[in-house]
Amino acid sequence: MKPIERLRALDAEAKLVEHIGAMLGWDQETYMPSAAIDERSDQLALMESLTHDMATSPEIGSILAELGSNAEAPGGPESLPTIDRAYLRVMRRKFDQATKLPSELVSEMAKATSLSQAAWVQARKDDDYRAFAPHLSKMLEFNKTVAACLDPGKRPYDVLLDQFEEGAIEAQVASVFSALRDDLVSLLDRILGGPQVDDSFLRRNCPAAAQAKASAYFMKALAFDATRGRLDTTAHPFTTTLGGSDVRITTRYVEEYFPSSVFSTIHETGHALYELGLDPSPDYRRTSLAEASSMAIHESQSRLWENTVGRSLGFWLHHLPALRQMLSPVLDGVGLEDFYRAINKVEPSLIRTEADEVTYSLHVILRFELEGALVSGDLSVDDLPGAWNDGMKRLLGVVPTDDAHGCLQDIHWSMGSFGYFPSYALGNLYGAQWWDAMKAQGLDPKSAVEQGNLGSILSWLRTNIHKPGAIYKPGELVEHVTGNALDPSHFVRYLNDKYAGVYGF
């Protein structure tokens, strides 16, 4: 067996163990009895330890060295095929990072994460931040330790950001977000200065069973392959991969606001379509090259399908009649234009996942600021609720009345995912740039949606974004696909054009 074939085999074995661990995590969030949490945390800790042991196998290090991969040339010699060099780069990064983390730390963090997630679910339900605070403190300290292990010479938050968006640093993201924030606030002021949209009919009571039918309908409309995944319900919607043909998504049904499940389902289906389309080559299936380029690239897929497609007039031209029938009598008498304007109503609100396109990134910017302050020590865990409320008032002009609608609303920090939040806003930017690239390359995505031809959009995404997997770093991918670096102006222009039509200015 050639060295690179052996490397792929070892990697594939590790992916199997990783997917088994993901199955345990998915079960914890969906069907696991609540009393099982203690043993489940031990099970997950064991799986993480096994995965870590496999990732740090000395044989992997030896093969990488034999193939010419090192810190200075992670892809090995230029004489190797391009796809092999990309794979070596990915495996060198994973191996170097894994070998810097003690196995005991990985196991302890996995167990603490499982307990933390369960504590968050209960604390959110009870609106009891103080009960969750010790778990948050523990996850924060774990992340600081991980950052110190990976690169003690860098600022901890820069190291954590790099885990989700390779090459990103806090100062760079802050610069992008600063300009984006100004543009969003300016647009928001224009919108709030005029007559507001009536969306009261969206808050009519809608049974969960009817919403479940709608979820199944929209998954099918977006070409989700039901033989390769499934939908379940959880406290916080998510997507997880349990295998190359087993991608699970979840949603939640809020009976007093059915759009929550409709757009959560479309959002998570966007993630699943990406996972199911990762296919750099037959040789690299079930390897680390068949993974997302970054979390922001991942979010570009979910946000594009949820908003650019799912909140467009053309989409509902085709699908509103079916939704009206499935949810009857909730939407009886509601016309297309009124529905379109209602689902695109702009109004500062408390919940990120239900925020409109204009204010959504402001929610993300707040979380970026807060987690950076938490990691640096400028903000204490005890002071987080107050800082959260102050930030909401400053950026959005609204203040939560309780922590369940404030700093307890997101699952990410309970999972120890510090550095993840910027991916959402960066995903908006990438998504808008993909949309304009389609137009520049001869595909009119707006017309495709209006004609009910979503397959042409998916085909373009499959070819340009999904199939390459991790061959390109995120910055390289946007350059490769669009010919330019990430440019926020695409997203700002999209918002201004769209909302000028919605609000008539």
The set of residues, in sequence order, having a beta carbon less than 8 Å from that of 50 and lying 6+ positions away, is 17
**What is the assigned CATH class of domain 170-503?**
mainly alpha
Closest to 345 (Cα-Cα) out of 448, 263, 235, 402: 263
Tens digits of pLDDT across the chain (505 residues): 899 999 999 999 999 999 999 999 999 999 999 999 999 999 999 999 999 999 999 999 999 999 999 999 999 999 999 999 999 999 999 999 999 999 999 999 999 999 999 999 999 999 999 999 999 999 999 999 999 999 999 999 999 999 999 999 999 999 999 999 999 999 999 999 989 999 999 999 999 999 999 999 999 999 999 999 999 999 889 999 999 999 999 999 999 999 999 999 999 999 999 999 999 999 999 999 999 999 999 999 999 999 999 999 999 999 999 999 999 999 999 999 999 999 999 999 999 988 999 999 999 999 999 999 999 999 999 999 999 999 999 999 999 999 999 999 999 999 999 999 999 999 999 999 999 999 999 999 999 999 999 999 999 999 999 999 999 999 999 999 999 999 999 999 999 999 999 998 8
DSSP codes joined into one string, 440-484: HTT--HHHHHHTT-HHHHHHHHIIIIITTTTSS-HHHHHHHHHSS
Catalytic residues: 268
The set of residues, in sequence order, having a beta carbon less than 8 Å from that of 160 and lying 6+ positions away, is 143, 146, 147, 375, 418, 419
Cis previous bond, 422, omega within 30: no
- The length of the chain is 505
How are beta strands 229-233 and 239-243 bridged, if at all?
Answer: unpaired
> Distance from CA of residue 265 to its chain's centroid?
13
Sign of the CA dihedral with 28 first, then 33, 39, and 41 last = positive
**pTM of the full structure:** 0.94
Residue 475 burial (CB count, 10 A): 16
Rounded Cα–Cα distance for residues 38 and 31 (Å): 15
Closest to 274 (Cα-Cα) out of 259, 258, 291, 255: 291
E strand or H helix that includes residue 246: strand 246-251
Task: Please state whether 470 falls in left (phi above 0), alpha (psi between -120 and 50) or beta.
Answer: alpha
